[in-house]
Chains A and B, each alone.
Chain A
Amino acid sequence: MASTVAGTVARRAAPIELSGVTKRFVTPSGSRFTALRDVDLTIGAGTFCAVVGPTGCGKSTTLTMVSGLDRPSAGSVRVAGQAVDGITRGTSFMFQADALMPWKTVLANVALGPVFHGVPRKEAHSRARDWVRRVGLAGFEDHHPHQLSGGMRKRVSLAAALINEPSILLMDEPFGALDVQTKAIMSNELLALWEQARPSVIFVTHDLEEAIALADQVVVLTAGPGTVKAVYDIDLPRPRGAVQEIRFEPRFLELHHQIWESLREEVGRAYARTANAEGGRS
C-alpha cells in the first residue's frame, strides 16, 4: 500500500514533517546519548531548507531519519503524509564523504539508481549519459572515481542523486570538503539543477553563508541534544544567481547578522562543553 502511494508522489516534491522527534543512541559502553530532543519541523513541498547548528547537534541524524536509514526513538517522521517506515521512496542522499563505488566507472555509478529500480541496463546507461552531461562531465563517462578531482566526484554524486528524480534530496555537508572556489561553483550548479525539478531539500551545513545563499528556510538547531531553536525565512528573490555575489546584498547581510546572533550562542555553548569535557578528562 505504502509503495503505491509513494510511487505516485515520487515525481513531485514531497512535504516533510517531523513531530516530537527524539533520537537516543546507546554507545557500545552502554551509556546513552541523546542526539535530538523534541524536534518539530515542517518543510513544505519543494522548499529548500538548510539546517545549521554547532558540531554534534544531530544535524546528520535528522537526515538519516527522514531517509529511513534510521528511525526515531520517539515521535514521528512523515513524508508526503506517510509515516516513514523503511527506506523512504523517492529520496536521494548526498553524503559528506564520497559514496561512489570506486570499482565502477562514472557512468556506471550514475546509472546505479535506475539499475536498482529495475530499469534495463541499456536505458539506465543512456539516462546516466544524459545526467553526466548535465553536470558537465561529458567525456569522463569511462573514468573511475580515483581519476577525478574532488569537485568532479561531487558532480558525479550530484548526478547519481538526481537521476532518480527524487521528491526529496537530502544533503549532508555535501561540499564541506571542497576548497572555497570549487564550493561556490558547485553551489551555483546545485541551485541551477534544483530550480529545474524543485524537489524538497534538506541541506545540512556548518556554513551559515552557504545556508542563506542557497535556502528558502534556515533552521537553527541548539547545541546537543539538538532541538529547533529558530526557523528563518529567507526572502531573497529566486533565481538567486551567483552565490559569490549575493553575499554582498544588503538583505543578505541583514539576515546573516540576525541568524548569526542566534547561532553564535549555540556554537559558544557547544564549544564550552567540549572544552570542559576535554579539561575534565585530562
Chain B
Amino acid sequence: MSAPPLKPQHSVEIGPIGSTADATEAAIAADVRNSTRRRKTLLWAARIATLVIIIGGWQLFTSAKIVDPFFWGRPSGIVKQLNDWVQHGTQYGSIWLQIWTTFKEAVLGFVVGVAGGVVVGVLLGQVRFLADVASPYIKVANAIPRIVLGSLFTVALGLGIASKVSLASVLVFFVVFFNAFQGVREVDRNLLNNARVLGASRLAITRHVVVPSALTWIIASLHVAFGMAIIGAIVGEFLGAQKGLGLVIATAQNNFNPNGVFAAMFIIAVLALTAEGLIALLERRLLSWRPRSQSEVAAA
C-alpha cells in the first residue's frame, strides 16, 4: 500500500465522436431497416404465391377433369356452398346456429377439461403416493383410443350438448393433465427449499411456487388442447346430433357433396385460429415475466 501509484504504460486517446460518426450510425440503422423491410416483402409475396398455386392448381386440375371434382370438390364450389349457407342456411337452421353450437360445445369441453387436468395434475404432481397409485391406470387410460368414448356418451347422454362436451373434455383433460403433472415435477428444488425455509405452508408453496412454475407447461398444452376440444365436439356431432358443424359435415358426406365437407372444414379452421389467437394473448399476459426467447426476438 505504501508503494508509489502505478502509472498505466499506455493509454489510448479516444477522439471526440463527431458528426461523421453520427452519420455512419444513421446509415447503418437505415440499412438494417431496409433489409428487414425487403425480407418482409419477399416473405409475404412467397406466402401469397403459395396460396395462389395451391388454390389455383386445385381449381385448374378439377376444371380440366384431371382430378374428379365429384370426389375432391373445387374451390369455386366451396365458395358457392359457403355463400349458399350464409344466404339460405343449412337444413338444420342457419349456419350461424351450427357454428355457435359447435363453438359452445368445444369451449365448454375445453374449460371443463383444462380445469380437471390442472387440478388433478397439480395434485398428483405434488403427492407422490397418489401419483404412484394412479400411474398404471393413467397409462392404460392414455392407451385407450378415447375417441371411442364418444359412442358411449352419445348413448348415455343423448343427442344434446352434454355428450359432445363430455367427449371434448375427456380429450382435453389428458393433454392438460400430462403437462400439468410434468410441470409440477420439474419445479426447481431450490425454489421449493427456499420457500420452505422462508416459512411457507404447503398451500402457499402450491400457490406461489408450484402453480406459477407449472404454468409455462400448462399454457403450452392449451394450444393443442383447444384443437382437441374441437375434434371432440365435431366427432360427437358425427356420432349423433340435431345440430352443429359435425352434423353438417356428416350430411354433406351422405349426399356426396365434397364441397360441403370442405366448406365446413374451412369454417372450423377459422374457429380454431380465432381460439388460438385468444390463447396466445392469454399466454402473453400470464407469462409476461418470461424473457423473450431468441425466436420471438427474431420474429419481432
Contact = CB atoms under 8 A, between A and B. Distances in A.
Contacts of A158: none
Tell me which of A68, A89, A102 has the highest count of chain B C-beta atoms within 10 A of its own C-beta: A102
Interface in B1-32: 1
Contacts of B193: 64, 69, 93, 95, 99
Contact of A92 (B198, B213, B287): B198
Given A91-B197, A93-B194, A99-B193, A146 B291 contact: yes
Contacts, number: 67
B253 to A, nearest CB: 48
Given A99-B190, A101-B209, A103-B212, A248 B1 contact: yes
Interface in B142-197: 188, 190-191, 193-197
A112 interface: yes
Given A92-B197, A93-B197, A164-B198, A101 B191 contact: yes
A69 B212 contact: no
B44 interface: no
Interface in B197-212: 197-201, 204, 208-209, 212
A67 B1 contact: no
B289 interface: yes
Question: Interface residues of A: mostly helix, strand, loop or mixed?
Answer: loop
Contacts of A92: 197-198
Nearest to B204: A116
Contacts of B290: 102-103, 146
Contact of B196 (A87, A98, A245): A87
A116 B200 contact: yes
Nearest to B200: A116
A60 to B, nearest CB: 11
Nearest to B205: A116
A97 B190 contact: yes
Tell me which of A68, A101, A144 has the highest count of chain B C-beta atoms within 10 A of its own C-beta: A101
Interface string B52-88: 0000000000000000000000000000000000000
B190 A103 contact: no
Nearest to B190: A99
A112 B200 CA distance: 9
A128 to B, nearest CB: 12
Contact of B195 (A89, A91, A103, A116): A116
A113 interface: yes
A117 interface: yes
Interface string A72-96: 0000000000000001010111010
Interface of A: 64, 67-69, 87, 89, 91-93, 95, 97-99, 101-104, 112-113, 115-117, 144, 146-147, 160, 164, 245, 248
29 contacts: A67-B197, A69-B193, A87-B197, A89-B199, A91-B197, A93-B193, A95-B194, A98-B190, A99-B188, A99-B191, A99-B194, A101-B208, A102-B289, A102-B290, A103-B212, A103-B287, A104-B289, A113-B198, A115-B208, A116-B195, A116-B199, A116-B204, A116-B208, A144-B289, A146-B289, A146-B290, A160-B198, A164-B199, A245-B1
The 7 closest A-B pairs by CB, nearest first: A99-B194, A116-B200, A93-B197, A103-B289, A146-B291, A99-B190, A116-B199
